[in-house]
Structure 1
C-alpha cells in the first residue's frame, strides 16, 4: 500500500510530506520471537517500509503569522480558529497532492495527516484533551484519497498523554538493536523513546528543543529571523550559567514519565520571565544558553533511561551548535542521526505517521501504553472517505513486531 504521511510540528515552520510503500512481510520469515510483542500485544510479522521520497515546504507567511498570533498564551476567537483550520487544511491538501504526483507517480492509496497541534490541554500532569487543526476534507477533496487524521485524540481518551505517538514506530524500529537504544526527536519539543529487549519501553517529552530557541531568535532579532540557521547565533554566544540555572529549575524536568508538554508551557512570555531574573545579556548569549538548556535536559533524560546510543531526528539535527553541545553532554555515548539508518532526519515523523495511519486502516493498535500512559492500546484516528467513498478495509492481521527499512529514501 502506498501511503503519504503529512507532518507539521510544534515549530509550525512548514509541512513535511513523505511517501512510502508499506507491506507486511511473512511472519515466518520475520526475525521476531514470541518475546517480541508488537503494539497490539500479539506476535506478528515484520512491517517493511520502502521510502519513496519526501519533501518539506514552508507555510505561507500569512498562515505562519496567524498561527503565531493564536497559539498559547494568546487569546483567539472561533472565527480565527475556523479560518486557520481551513487554511491549514488547504495547505495540507496541496502538500498531499504534490506528494501523490511527484513521489508516487500519481498513484497512492492513503493519506495520513497529523494536522497542526494548536493546544495540548494538560492539568496536574494529566492530558485532558488535544486539538489539531487542518480539516482533512480538503485533503480528500483535492487528492481523491481517503485520509486518516486526528490520531492523538483516541490515546488521550484512553487515559494517555497523546504523545509521543511516534513511540509505537520507534519501538518497532529500534527492536533488535543492541543495548538500550534511544530514538530522539528534536522538533519544537524534544521527545525520546527508549527500548531494550525484554524490558518495557519508555517514551516522553524531555522539554523544549526548538520551541524556546525559535521564540528567543524571533524576539531578539525583532522578527528578522525565525530560527537560528545553522546554529550561527548560538555559536557566537557564551552560555550564561545563572540564566541556565533559572531555566533548569522548571518543575517539568523532574516529573516522572509518561509526561508530555508543549508551547502551552514553553513560549516567549515564559522565557522573558526568566530573562528578567538576570542582567541584560547579548542576544547571542541568550541563544547559546537556551541551546544549552535543550542539550542538558535531553542528555539528562537519556541517562535517566539508561540509553546506550542516541539516534536523533527532527529539525534540531540541522543545528550543528545544538548537536555539538549535545555530544559534549552525552560524553562517550554515541550520537547519530536517523539518516544513517535509512530515514531522513527531517522526514522521520512524516514516515512515522504514515505507518501509524497504515496500522489504523488495518484495524491494528498504534500506541504503546507503557509509553503514553494509556489504559490500553488503541486503533488511532478518524477516516475521511475519498472520491470513491471509504476504502475496502484490509482484514485485520497480527500486529507487527519489527519495522524494517527497505532502502534509503531519496
Structure 2
C-alpha cells in the first residue's frame, strides 16, 4: 500500500512529504516493511504562511479568517500532494496532519481540544486519492494529550534495542520518547525553535537565525535563563504537551518583563534561548537513564544548539537519526504516512502501556484519523507482492510490532 504522508509543523517553513510503500513481511506478519520512495519538502505559498503567522497566539482572529485559512492550507497541501504524486508515482492514500492552529491545554495539564486545519476535500479533489486526516482528536476524546504521536514510530524502529534510548525531535517544540525501558514514556519538553524563530522574525523579519550566526556572537544572560527555567510547565510529569499557545509572541514579555527584555541585545537573547532549549531537553533526559539520545528535526541543524545540547547531555552520546537509517529531516512525514497506513487498517495510532492506557495518557489506544471521502477505502488495496485479496486480509489485520525501512532510488 502506497501512502503519501504530509506534515507542517509549528515552524511553518515548508510542507514535509514522504511517499512510502508499506507491505507486511510474508514470514513475519508483525513486521511491516516501509520502502521510502520519496522524502522532501514542498514550499508553503508565501501569502498563506504569512496569513498563518498573523493569526498565531496571541493575535486575535475571527471565525471567517480561520475558515479562509482552512481552505488556503487545504489548497497548499493539495498542490504539494499533486506535485509529489505526479513526479514520483501514485498513491493509494494521502495522510495529512494539516496545520495546527490551536492546542488547548488546561491549567492542570490536560488537553480539552486540538485543531488542525487544511481542507482534506481539496486534497482529494486535486489528487483523486482518498485522504486520512484529523489525526489527533480521537486521542484527545479518549482523554489523551493528542501529542506527541511520534512514539509509535520510535517504538517500531528502535524499541527492540537492548538499552534505553531517548528519541528526540526538535521542531518548533522539542519532544522525546523513551524506548527500550519497559512502557514507552513520551511528551513535549519545551521550546525547540519556536522562541528562537519568533525572536528573529520580530526583530529582523527573517524566518530564522541561519546557522546561529547571530546567537554565536551573543552571551547567555544567566538571570534571564533562570527566570525562563522557572516556568511551571517544566515541572509537569510526562506525558505532557504544549504549543504556541504557551510559547506565543508575548511569552518572553510575560516571563521576563518588558524592561528586562528590552535590555537584551538580540544576539544575547538568542544565545539565551539556545541555552534554554538545550537545558530543558537535557533536564528532560537526565532522569530517564537513557544510554544514548537519537535526534531528528530542524533543530539539530542549528550548530550552536547541537553543541550546547551535546555538552549538556554528556556523557550520554547525541546521535543523528540519519546514522541509524532513519531520515532525520523527513521523520515526521514518515510518521504521518505510517499513521495513515494504520488508520486505514483499523489499527491504533498510539501505544498501549501495561495498564491498558495509551502512551499519551488516554484511557486506551485508539484508531486515529477521519477519511475523505468516507467510502473510499471500503476495500483496501492489495500489496503488489500479493496475488489475492484473501492472502492479504489476515496479514494486514495483524498488529505491527516492528518497522523495517529501506530506501528506493528516486526518479530523476
TM-score normalised to structure 1 length: 0.91
Picking from 263, 270, 278, the partner of 2:260 is 278
The more displaced of 147-156 and 72-81 is: 72-81
Q: Which residue of 2 aligns with 1:333?
A: 316
Report how far residue 14 of structure 1 moved.
Answer: 1.8
Report how far residue 393 of structure 1 moved.
Answer: 3.2
Q: Which residue of 1 aligns with 2:389?
A: none
The answer to whether structure 1 residue 319 and structure 2 residue 302 are counterparts is yes
Aligned-residue CA RMSD (Å) = 1.7
Report how far residue 404 of structure 1 moved.
Answer: 1.2
Report how far residue 408 of structure 1 moved.
Answer: 7.5
The more displaced of 388-397 and 160-169 is: 388-397
Matches within 5 A, 1:178-193: 178-193=162-177
The answer to whether structure 1 residue 25 and structure 2 residue 25 are counterparts is yes
Q: Which residue of 1 aligns with 2:40?
A: 55
Matches within 5 A, 1:246-285: 246-276=227-257, 278=260, 280-285=263-268
Report how far residue 193 of structure 1 moved.
Answer: 0.6
Q: Distance in 1 between matches of 2:293 and 2:18?
A: 23
Matches within 5 A, 1:4-403: 4-26=4-26, 28-29=27-28, 45-103=30-88, 105=89, 107-123=90-106, 124-196=108-180, 199-221=182-204, 223=205, 225-276=206-257, 278=260, 280-368=263-351, 369-385=357-373, 389-393=376-380, 395=393, 397-403=397-403
Residue deviations 1:122-170 (CA, integer Å, cap 9, x gap): 1121100100000100100000000000000000001100000111111
Report how far residue 9 of structure 1 moved.
Answer: 0.5
Q: Which residue of 2 aligns with 1:34?
A: none
SS of equivalent to 2:102: strand
Give unmatched runs, 5+ long, in structure 2.
352-356, 382-392
Q: Distance in 2 between matches of 1:341 and 1:392?
A: 35
- Alpha carbons of structure 1 residues 19 and 335: separation in structure 2 relative to 1, 3 Å: same
Aligned partners of 2:37 and 2:407 also within 8 Å:
no
Aligned partners of 2:51 and 2:69 also within 8 Å:
yes
Residue deviations 1:210-251 (CA, integer Å, cap 9, x gap): 111111111222x1x111111212112111111110110000
Aligned partners of 1:291 and 1:322 also within 8 Å:
yes
Residue deviations 1:98-137 (CA, integer Å, cap 9, x gap): 111223x2x2111000000000111121100100000100
Give unmatched runs, 5+ long, in structure 1.
30-43
Aligned partners of 1:343 and 1:408 also within 8 Å:
no
The more displaced of 172-181 and 277-286 is: 277-286
Q: Distance in 2 between matches of 1:83 and 1:293?
A: 36
Q: Distance in 2 between matches of 1:174 and 1:210?
A: 25
Residue deviations 1:63-107 (CA, integer Å, cap 9, x gap): 11111111111111111011100000000011111111223x2x2
Residue deviations 1:262-289 (CA, integer Å, cap 9, x gap): 0000112011233436371221110010
Q: Distance in 2 between matches of 1:56 and 1:292?
A: 28
Q: Distance in 1 between matches of 2:409 and 2:208?
A: 26
Q: Which residue of 1 aligns with 2:386?
A: none
Aligned partners of 1:206 and 1:301 also within 8 Å:
yes
SS of equivalent to 2:148: coil
